[in-house]
Amino acid sequence: MPIPLAQAGLAALFAVAAPVASNPLLAPWTGPYGGAPPFDKVQVEGFKPALEAGMAEQLAAIDEITGEKAPPTFANTIAALERSDRGLERVQSLYGVWRTSMNTPPFQEVEREMAPRLAAFRDQVTQNATLFKRIAAVYAGRESADLSPEQKRLAWLYYTTFARTGAKLDPAGKKRLSEINQRLATLYTTFAQNVLADETDHVLFLEDEKDLAGLPDTLRSAAAAGAESRGKKGRWVILNTRSSMEPFLTYSDRRDLRERVWRTYYSRGDNGDAKDNNKTITEILGLRAERAKLLGFETHAHWSLEDTMAKTPERAMVLMEAVWTPAVARVREEVAEMQAIADGEGAAIQVAPWDYRYYAEKVRKAKYDLDENEVKPYLQLDRLRDGMFWVAGKVFGLHFSPVQGVPVYHPDVVVYEVKDAAGRHVGLWYFDPWARPGKRSGAWMNAYRDQERFDGEVPTIVSNNSNFVRGAAAAPVLASWDDATTMFHEFGHALHGLSSGVAYPSLSGTSVARDYVEFPSQILERWLATPDVLSRFALHYRTGQPMPAALAQKIERASTFRQGFDTVEYLASALVDMKLHLAGARPIDPDAFERETLAALGMPSEVVMRHRTPQFTHVFSSDDYAAGYYSYLWSDVLAADAWEAFTEAGGPWDEAVAKRLRESVFSVGNTIDPADGYRAFRDRDARIDALMRKRGFPVPAPPKTD
């Protein structure tokens, strides 16, 4: 997506390196499917010259646009900009994969050097006064220029993006802004690399079988395999990632080890050593506050929310506060239930944060007769993937089949071709489910190439990534219910990309407002729990038998289980994020700020923020989710409300509702205002009620009217 905001790349400082075509990272992608990324040709030392050549290439293209004698038009300015960074887009796509999934020390060196240079390049494009004048002229004349609605929207997007990122500043302001952005790029890289280092380096090796007390067999064999792959055969390793920490805290009977794993995980970036992130955070927040003022906004939060659906921090806060109070009340109930179990067992403890998952699991068994270990044997990774494909076929008319011979960056990765109901090629889907050193933790979707058609059809290429831990060789990998939900979530992002049917890449697929982009992914989660999916794809890994209906019903009945914990750990992070970015220019000590903010909110002592400030990569490894972590809740209001459109109609497979969802949400990208898209789908705005029902919280009374 060629919008210069986040993706474009450097400067006239560089003489053009090698001719473009000879650099394999920059060259057009070849082969079937409209070409595929040349992962087999990537060498880390190739990134720097390829990025430099890509930036030089775009600058030359921009020179042609600004040197144009004819008056500015959509075609000679906006469409030309959409074409201006093809090469840079290609190399950045590969670069992005190495950042997230192949992050080795030699690559980190390249990243440290190139991050500020890419930031400087983006500013150089945005601050090009001649270019901005042309964009502004096209934008001002958009109504009389016989443009399509999508073209008008694109002109608006370019104009507002340039304006809000500094195009209107005077020369001194532009200079300072660019200094700030370059420094921030370096700090973001430092922050992310520090968190990754603490995740990689602070793993826990267990020596003695006694240390595994309570762990189910699947976890034991994964821990043993992990230790062996790290050269410690005969021991067990607990990785310092969410997908290792959570099951350990859920099952380990060893309270001392639970506390140790918990402390290690929640201390990432906060150990007072060379990888400590606190000073970095202070500097990031200071620079963001200064930048917001420079751009004419009260705080970074105000600047950041201007182009979202929420529009203002105040509106986001109103939503968060409406959910916070019932969520905290629910935590108190959950803790009381857990304490009763602990007391009944004679544990003689006060439930602490490292006990929450462990005793919650016991409550689940006692109250809902539901044992996570009873569910897990039915959740085979491969069958879940087939289930996702099945949903894609039924609801989105998309069909997946494996393909061979497409280059991959690691043998773990598998590639599928996606076709529509008429059998036309739609795109490629790459799947990289496995944890590896150098791969960031968590799960995410990524687009290697956006769908577009203004210069001929270009099919999209998307990927889903997660961190499953392999068990013993040939043993099927089993997912937890949460992991299965996350798989469907990320697949929702992939379907959003694959369903895209727009003309211009900057408006394509998932390039939508940040607090809207989680709506397609969160609604996808809902199909996992449908009886049709469970009965077909939740098959026991030994017997092949489908999950019994009684078990599926128990899962359904327990769907609001532990919602106090889940909502509070999330919202505490979202509220701290927002308040950090509303605090203005005063210097912030992250540790004290976090402590005081949580105290003022009445944070229950048994819960910790899902992402504590020193490890909050959403917020501090780029601008993307800064003052934006609330977006998941905002989007979930939409997803919950949209799901009720299905249940109010014929159920999860209602064809008319699915058609509206595709036509008004999944396929339109950012070609329309998201609020309008939602209204076209639902015939009204979203209401909070469905979200509260979904989480099992009281639905607020409607406002009184006279």
Q: Give the residues lining the site for Zn ion (CB under 5 A).
A: 518, 521
Distance CA 451, CA 494 (A): 12
Q: How far apart are CA 388 and CA 494, in angstroms?
A: 11
Closest contact distance (angstroms) between CB of 384 and Zn ion is 17
- Residue 472 Cβ vs Zn ion, minimum distance, rounded to whole Å: 31
The least CB distance from residue 489 to Zn ion, in Å, is: 6
**447 phi, psi to nearest 5 deg:** -105, 120
The catalytic position among 111, 334, 452, 490 is 490
Closest CB to Zn ion among 241 and 521? 521
Count of other CB atoms within 10 angstroms of residue 592: 9
Task: Provide, rounded to whole angstroms, the least separation between the CB of residue 325 and Zn ion.
Answer: 26
Considering beta carbons, is residue 194 or 521 the nearer one to Zn ion? 521
Residue 485: CB minimum distance to Zn ion, A: 11
Question: Is residue 214 exposed (0-12), middle (13-18) or buried (19+ Cβ within 10 Å)?
Answer: middle
Element containing residue 64 per DSSP (H, E): helix 47-66
In the complex with Zn ion, the residue whose CB is nearer, 417 or 636, is 636
Residue whose CB is less far from Zn ion, 471 or 677: 677
**Helix boundaries (H) for 230-355:** 242-251, 255-266, 278-294, 300-305, 313-344
SS (H, E, C) 110-127: HHHHHHHHHHHHHHHHHC
Q: State the minimum distance, in angstroms, from the CB of residue 492 to Zn ion.
A: 8
Residue nearer to Zn ion on the CB measure, 521 or 567:
521
Buried b (16+ CB within 10 A) or exposed e, 129-168: eebbebbbbbbeebeeeebeebbbbbbebbbebbbbbbbb
Which residue carries 């009945």 as its tokens?
557
Cβ-closest position to Zn ion = 521
417 or 518: CB nearest Zn ion: 518
Residue 89 vs 518, nearer CB to Zn ion? 518
Tell me how far apart the terminal alpha carbons of the chain are, to the nearest angstrom.
49
The runs of H, that is alpha helices, within 381-498 are 381-396, 481-498
- Considering only CA atoms, which of 399, 419, 427, 542 is closest in space to residue 476? 542
Q: Closest by alpha carbon to 26, among 48, 3, 59?
A: 48
Compute the least distance from the CB of residue 432 to Zn ion, in Å: 16
Query: Is there a catalytic annotation at residue 490?
Result: yes
Q: What stretches of 441-589 show up as alpha helix (H) in DSSP? A: 481-498, 518-528, 531-537, 549-557, 563-582
Active site residues: 490
